[in-house]
């Protein structure tokens, strides 16, 4: 796919409908990010989506739909800190960093080649407040400089919700929000995650359709969890265990 195929249509529209129209510089940053994503995706598997309209719709525009919740979590907090766990191609962390330049974003992934891509994007786009980290969430969440230090945590397509809760909530301070974009059918997964919520100190804040579903074309759900008390020190468990033995 050539760079000429990169024509932003939906991203500016969604940003405007959310009340935060993109500046020309932000529009250019989104275009360059898209070019890098398409270029690197030919060499390493960043996304299974292989056509530009689907990438713009499912990755870039859908990421912007988290902005109202990010803004709510960041109200009155300077600087506001967000960690994107299992960031992969930078979704949703990079679009959020472009749309909110003052947001401090940590892009966490356990795969070295994906982190190299994230480093290239951050460097190319000049995202001063975005930092890629190559590490497993189970380990980084026990580091004092990261545990309980974030206002927002995001995770897209990371794991079953019970596993995702264990890998993400330890990064939050009490009162912080975890944002999980999910598919349309979420009831069964929510029911299986009730024990994890209780053990980890979280409470369910919202389960609602992603806004502007008629434009995105893929009706999804956002699950919002607030941390109400510090996560017990034993969580997350050692690498691999949250996925093999979820807290169900």
Kindly report, residue by residue over 153-209, the tens digit of the pLDDT: 999 988 899 999 999 999 999 999 999 998 877 899 999 999 999 999 999 999 998
3-class secondary structure, 47: coil
What is the rounded average pLDDT of the residues 27-39?
Answer: 94
- pLDDT tens per residue, range 41-76: 989 989 888 788 888 988 999 999 999 999 999 998
| Token pair of 106 as six digits | 């940590």
Distance, CA of 147 to CA of 129 (rounded, Å): 19
- Whether residue 53 is contained in a domain is answered as no
- pLDDT tens per residue, range 78-123: 899 999 999 999 999 999 999 999 999 999 999 999 999 999 999 9
Residue 218 CB partners (closer than 8 Å, separation 6+): 57, 58, 62
pLDDT surpasses 80 at 4? no
The torsion defined by the Cα of 40, 43, 49 and 54, in degrees rounded to 10, comes to 30
- Whether residue 239 is contained in a domain is answered as yes
Band the pLDDT of 1: cuts 50, 70, 90.
very low
Specify whether the CB–CB gap between 85 and 156 falls below 8 A: no
- Whether residue 20 is contained in a domain is answered as no
Position 2 scores a pLDDT of 43
User: What are the φ/ψ torsions at residue 88 (nearest 5 degrees)?
Assistant: 60, -110
> Tell me, what CATH number does 161's domain have?
3.40.50.150
Band the pLDDT of 217: cuts 50, 70, 90.
low
Range of the domain at 172: 66-244
Domains contained in the chain, number = 1
- Whether residue 60 is contained in a domain is answered as no
What is the rounded average pLDDT of the residues 12-25?
Answer: 94
Quickly count: other Cβ atoms within 10 Å of residue 116's Cβ: 14
- Whether residue 70 is contained in a domain is answered as yes
Distance, CA of 179 to CA of 183 (rounded, Å): 13
- Whether residue 44 is contained in a domain is answered as no
The model carries a pTM of 0.94
- Whether residue 182 is contained in a domain is answered as yes
């Amino acid at each position: 796919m050539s760079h000429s195929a990169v024509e932003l249509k939906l991203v500016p529209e969604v940003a405007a409908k959310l009340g935060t129209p993109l500046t020309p510089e932000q529009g250019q940053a989104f275009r360059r990010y898209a070019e890098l994503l398409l270029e690197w995706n030919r060499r390493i598997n960043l996304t299974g989506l292989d056509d530009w309209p689907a990438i713009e719709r499912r990755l870039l525009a859908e990421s912007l739909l988290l902005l109202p919740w990010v803004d709510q979590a960041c109200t009155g907090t300077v600087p506001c800190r967000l960690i994107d766990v299992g960031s992969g191609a930078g979704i949703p962390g990079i679009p959020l960093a472009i749309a909110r330049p003052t947001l401090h974003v940590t892009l966490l992934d356990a795969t070295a080649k994906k982190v190299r891509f994230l480093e290239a994007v951050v460097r190319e786009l000049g995202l001063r407040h975005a930092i890629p980290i190559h590490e497993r969430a189970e380990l980084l969440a026990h580091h004092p400089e990261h545990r309980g230090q974030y206002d927002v945590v995001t995770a897209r397509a990371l794991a079953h919700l019970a596993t995702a809760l264990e890998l993400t909530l330890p990064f939050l301070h009490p009162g912080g929000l975890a944002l999980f974009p999910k598919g349309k059918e979420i009831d069964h997964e929510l029911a299986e995650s009730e024990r994890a919520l209780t053990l980890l100190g979280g409470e369910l804040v919202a389960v609602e359709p992603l806004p502007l579903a008629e434009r995105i074309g893929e009706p999804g759900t956002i699950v919002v969890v607030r941390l109400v008390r510090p996560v017990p020190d034993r969580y997350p468990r050692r690498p691999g265990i949250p996925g093999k033995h979820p807290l169900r």
